[in-house]
Amino acid sequence: MSLEEFAEQLETLGYDVAKDEFPKEYDAQYPYIVYEVAGTNNFAADNVVYQKILNIAVSIYTANRPDEEAMQMLELLFEELELVWDKVEELDHQQYDYEVLYSVEIYV
């Protein structure tokens, strides 16, 4: 799956989606999703990259508390795409944003 195909799948959830960040003038509505390439975990064989693997960080931002429905929808999407995921939840006390950060790997 390419990164573009992954982004298209995120957009099927119906939320605002951006790579890295939304432009400052854009007013994203909660909940919204931001994803970024956090690195690689390539598989090598015979001194060459045999399989490219991207580590993707996918964050759902909500106001003050987690959005259980949005989280469930994203987790179901990951399951449909057969992606293994981990998550961490955090409240930003400065902006009152609640972030749920998912980590997934996609094979490109």
74-104 pLDDT, tens digit each: 999 999 999 999 999 988 777 668 999 999 9
- pLDDT band (50, 70, 90) for residue 27: confident
CA-nearest of 94, 91, 89, 93 to 74 is 89
Sheet holding 32-40, edge to edge: 16-19, 32-40, 53-63, 97-107, 85-92
> Chain-wide mean pLDDT for the chain?
93
Length of the chain: 108
**Stated pTM of the model:** 0.90
CA-nearest of 75, 69, 82 to 30 is 69
Residue 30: what are its φ and ψ, rounded to 5°? -65, 150
| Domains of the chain with bracketed CATH | 3-107 (3.30.2000.10)
